[in-house]
A = this chain, B = another copy of it.
Amino acid sequence: MDKVKVIEIKRSVYESNDREADKLRSELKEKGIFLLNLMSSPGSGKTTTLKQTINKMKDEFTIGVMEADIDSDVDAITIAKETGVKSIQLHTGGMCHLDAGMTRQGLDELIDSKIDFAILENVGNLVCPAEFDTGATKNAMILSVPEGHDKPLKYPLMFSICDVVLINKIDVMPYFDFDMDECIKNIKYRNPKAEVIPICAKTGEGIDKFAAWLKEQIKANI
């Protein structure tokens, strides 16, 4: 598959994004759809992590993926090709984040079949996506080892709104000045309740634990 559906999403017109997000969240709950919002810096490994996670979970759940990017459709194609699940590309038209109205536009295209687990891969950005509630059931983020263990100190909001923080690329820890204990301490300083799961999306290490966490959340949402 070399082509995926590309949606040019429009800026939302809603006055209150928070209200719109709460509305979307409760509509999704009624329909029995769990929506995960996955955020990170550019190049932290969101797409590879999703690929591995979807392949672990697709027998149990009907999954659909929205890949948000300013431009290009490489991620949606990767997901479609390598997992076989329904995947669409959202183009944000230069926008640095998605809000609830924009997420709804994507979901309207995605949910034409019975999907029970929808995933939004947000724009690669540690700042703006944290400021806009997408209506997701749960928020996840990836911090990768090469980015450094000090990131929770610099991007407080992102770490404080996420239910789970995946620490990716642990296979390259020997080549970077990365202190795992310090990293976890910094994450917990911003968000004591955050679940922290070290992973290597490339090899699949830790993905079982993330998939187990997701299953637990999905079941709690029904």
Contact = CB atoms under 8 A, between A and B. Distances in A.
Interface of A: 41-43, 69-72, 74, 94, 96, 123-128, 131, 144, 146-148, 150-151, 153-157, 169, 171-172, 175-176
24 contacts: A42-B147, A42-B151, A42-B154, A42-B155, A43-B148, A70-B154, A70-B155, A70-B156, A71-B153, A71-B155, A72-B153, A72-B154, A74-B150, A96-B96, A96-B128, A124-B126, A125-B125, A125-B126, A125-B127, A127-B128, A144-B146, A146-B169, A172-B172, A172-B175
A96 B41 CA distance: 13
Given A146-B172, A169-B146, A124 B70 contact: no
B94 A157 contact: yes
B41 A154 contact: no
What is the total number of copies of this protein in its complex?
2
Contacts of A175: 171-172, 175
A172 B147 CA distance: 13
